[in-house]
Amino acid sequence: MSGLLDRLPAAQRRLLTEAPSGVALAARPTLAVLSDRRDFGDGWLFERKLDGVRALAVREDGRVRLLSRNGNRLDDTYPELVEALAAQPCEDFTVDGEIVAYAHGRTDFARLQRRMQLTDPDKARASGVAVTFFLFDLLRLDAMNVTALPLRTRKSLLRDALEFGPLLRFTTHRNQGGQELLDQACARGWEGLIAKRAQGRYPARRSPDWLKLKCQAGQELVVGGFTEPAGSREGFGALLVGHYESGRLRYAGKVGTGYDRATLLRLRRKLDELERRTSPFADAVHERGAHWCRPALVAQIGFSEWTRDGMLRHPRFLGLRDDKKPEDVVREAPAA
């Protein structure tokens, strides 16, 4: 056991267990629940909700692995982050965090897209898109499983165990929050806040101890088709998107904004490869000349609200995601 763990109170040391492999611990990250709650008493921490991609890093047996939340290897997409993790004086850890790219001083998911599609380390380095890995949780330290420790303790261990710099950043938090703090976050152009129980464990599931407080509506949706472009537009007109409900893909509307020319052309190539004759949606879709595709792509969509009949209002395309399986995409309903 490391010196950091030795300094824990006896009651907390009893919560430690020998860890399985770091990769096994990283296989089921804690996921947050969308919430409309705005009144919080004591016992909560508030972190910035970052507009990037979730990632978990494992260092053990002299190797570093960078993994998406569904277990895909990200080492070749973000080689500089792997190098920064390998250079840490601590040689055995599993950490959780978010990879982001900045544009004009703000995290920018669209800019990060230019890195997310690359799997050649040399091309990733030459992309011109600098990335930062914000770390917010610790799952394993020196072969010990620390997920049963309180969050506040895990964050303290994380801050002391690793050295932070331009590539690896520690995610700070506030001890008080609610509507006023969320309003401040939204005014700064943030995506929102994550509220976490300060004494909570790190459960391997979606947990009400982690709450997403969003500035604007948005979520992942599955692409099931597209329309042809009109006028001078190239690629396609709009994506036809939906979400799963009881195993059926329910139609949620069309998304015609948020694309530049390069994205339209790149996406059209992907869509043509996935094209099929019949609609994957359980609902009737009344779009003249619609093309259907195998529901294999997951897109991040921003929108103002859901309509009463389950359609998106004012949707816009933010980017493709490869860190969530299409069949896991359901409509997010806010918890109180």
Q: Tens digit of pLDDT for each residue in 258-285?
A: 999 999 999 999 999 999 999 999 999 9
Q: Which of 49, 155, 196, 212 is catalytic?
A: 49
Domain boundary among 171, 199, 227: 171
- Residue 103, pLDDT score: 85
Instruction: Give the count of beta carbons closer than 10 Å to the beta carbon of residue 148.
Output: 14
CA distance 73 to 95: 15
- Tokens representing residue 331 in the block: 């409509």
Domain boundary among 117, 147, 171: 171
Whole-number percent of the chain with pLDDT over 90: 79
Whole-number percent of the chain with pLDDT over 70: 99
Does residue 238 have a pLDDT over 70? yes
Q: Which residue has the tokens 């010196």?
A: 3
DSSP 331: -
User: Within this chain, do residues 148 and 256 fall inside the same structural domain, yes or no?
Assistant: no
Does residue 148 have a pLDDT over 70? yes
At 226-237, the pLDDT tens digits run 999 988 899 999
- Residue 191, pLDDT score: 87
User: Within this chain, do residues 92 and 223 fall inside the same structural domain, yes or no?
Assistant: no
CATH code of the domain covering residue 287: 2.40.50.140
Instruction: Report if residue 54 sits inside a domain.
Output: yes
**Total of domains in the chain:** 2
User: Within this chain, do residues 20 and 153 fall inside the same structural domain, yes or no?
Assistant: yes
User: Within this chain, do residues 227 and 323 fall inside the same structural domain, yes or no?
Assistant: yes
CA distance 271 to 273: 5
User: Within this chain, do residues 140 and 225 fall inside the same structural domain, yes or no?
Assistant: no
Confidence category of residue 336, pLDDT binned at 50, 70, 90: low
DSSP 149: S
Confidence category of residue 218, pLDDT binned at 50, 70, 90: confident
Range of the domain at 296: 217-328
Amino acid identity, position 114: R
CA distance 295 to 151: 37
Nearest residue to 192 via CA among 48, 92, 55, 63: 48
Judged by phi (left if over 0) then psi (alpha if -120 to 50, else beta), residue 94 lies in beta
Nearest residue to 203 via CA among 145, 243, 160: 145
Instruction: Report if residue 198 sits inside a domain.
Output: no
3-state helix, strand, coil in the chain (%, to 5): 20, 35, 40
297-320 in b/e form (b: 16+ CB < 10 A) is: bbbbbbbeebeeeeebeebbbbbb
Instruction: Report if residue 191 sits inside a domain.
Output: no
At 92-134, the pLDDT tens digits run 999 999 999 998 878 888 899 889 989 999 999 999 999 999 9
Instruction: Report if residue 23 sits inside a domain.
Output: yes
Instruction: Report if residue 94 sits inside a domain.
Output: yes
Residue 16: partners with Cβ closer than 8 Å, 6 or more residues away? 1, 5, 8, 144, 145, 146, 148, 149
CA distance 133 to 197: 23
Does residue 325 have a pLDDT over 70? yes
Does residue 215 have a pLDDT over 90? no
User: Within this chain, do residues 159 and 12 fall inside the same structural domain, yes or no?
Assistant: yes
User: Within this chain, do residues 114 and 240 fall inside the same structural domain, yes or no?
Assistant: no
At 6-50, the pLDDT tens digits run 999 999 999 999 998 888 888 899 999 999 899 898 899 999 999
Burial class (CB in 10 A: 0-12, 13-18, 19+), 42: exposed
Nearest residue to 54 via CA among 29, 33, 21: 29
CA distance 293 to 300: 18
User: Within this chain, do residues 8 and 155 fall inside the same structural domain, yes or no?
Assistant: yes
Nearest residue to 146 via CA among 31, 22, 59: 22
User: Within this chain, do residues 54 and 162 fall inside the same structural domain, yes or no?
Assistant: yes
User: Within this chain, do residues 152 and 66 fall inside the same structural domain, yes or no?
Assistant: yes
Does residue 303 have a pLDDT over 60? yes
Average pLDDT over residues 140-165: 97
Instruction: Report if residue 115 sits inside a domain.
Output: yes
Instruction: Report if residue 44 sits inside a domain.
Output: no
- Residue 2, pLDDT score: 64
- Residue 335, pLDDT score: 73
CA distance 75 to 130: 15
CA distance 324 to 259: 21
Q: Establish whether 49 is a catalytic residue.
A: yes
User: Within this chain, do residues 159 and 236 fall inside the same structural domain, yes or no?
Assistant: no
- Residue 82, pLDDT score: 98
- Residue 1, pLDDT score: 47
CATH code of the domain covering residue 140: 3.30.470.30
Instruction: Report if residue 193 sits inside a domain.
Output: no
Domain boundary among 171, 206, 237: 171
User: Within this chain, do residues 150 and 258 fall inside the same structural domain, yes or no?
Assistant: no
Backbone angles phi, psi at 289, to 5 degrees: 70, 25
- Residue 188, pLDDT score: 86
